[in-house]
Chains A and B, each alone.
Chain A
Amino acid sequence: EDKVVQSPLSLVVHEGDTVTLNCSYEVTNFRSLLWYKQEKKAPTFLFMLTSSGIEKKSGRLSSILDKKELFSILNITATQTGDSAVYLCAVEGQGAQKLVFGQGTRLTINP
C-alpha cells in the first residue's frame, strides 16, 4: 500500500525565518511527487517533482526530491505571514493516475 508521511505535523516560526518541511514516501513504481498549499479552502498546486536532485524553485519556495532515500523537502526562505497554511505532499505511482496524500504540515508564521 502506498504511503506518505510528512513531518513535522505542525510548525510555528517567526516572520523572516527559513523553514524546511519533510515528506517521505513508499510507493509502487514511483511516477511523481507533488506539493500543494492549502489555506482556507481548496489545495493549490506548488510543485511537481519526478527526477532526483533537480531543484524546483518559485520565488522563496523551493523543493527537491531524493528517489534513492525516498523523500522530498520543501524549503521556504524569508517567511511571511501569507505563507501560513497547511502544506500537503502527495505521490503518484506508475499507471495509477491518482494521488496518495500525507497528513499535511500546518505552518504558522507569526509577525
Chain B
Amino acid sequence: DAEITQSPRHKITETGRQVTLACHQTWNHNNMFWYRQDLGHGLRLIHYSYGVHDTNKGEVSDGYSVSRSNTEDLPLTLESAASSQTSVYFCASSESRLSGANVLTFGAGSRLTVL
C-alpha cells in the first residue's frame, strides 16, 4: 500500500544545531508540503513543492529550507534550531490537479524539541 513516512518520529536537539526531518511518499504525488502544528495555531504551512526541483515558501518559512531532488522525498532542514521551532511537524502530499479539490494525505508527524 502507498504511504507517507516521516522520520524521526521524535527528536530532541540543542539550540543552534542543524536538524533534518525526512519525508518519503510512495503515492507518486507531485505535490508535497510541510506544516507545523502548535497549540492555538492549527496547521501552518512552512514550505511546499509542486514537483522535482520546485520549492516555495509558506507563511512561516523563516529558519527552514527544503529541497526536492526526486518525486518521493522532501526533507525539511532547520539550519540553526531555535526554541521557537519546538513543534510537531507534518509532511503531506497530494496529486497535482487541474480541477477538483486538493486532498492532502498526511504523515504521522515528527515531534521536535529544541532545548
> Which B residues touch A45, using CB under 8 A?
103-105
With both chains docked as a complex, state the minimum distance between the C-beta of A25 and any C-beta of chain B, in angstroms: 13
Tally chain A residues at the interface, Cβ within 8 Å: 26
Distance of A98 Cα from B94 Cα, bound (Å): 9
- Chain A residues lying within 8 Å of B107, measured Cβ to Cβ, are 42
| B101 adjacent to A42 (CB under 8 Å) | no
- Residues on A close to B: CB < 8 A? 1, 4, 6, 9, 31-32, 34, 41-45, 48, 50, 88, 90, 92, 96-104
Can you list 17 A-B pairs with a CB-CB distance of less than 8 A? Answer: A4-B42, A32-B102, A34-B101, A34-B104, A41-B108, A42-B107, A43-B90, A45-B103, A48-B101, A97-B96, A97-B102, A98-B33, A99-B45, A100-B45, A101-B35, A103-B42, A104-B42
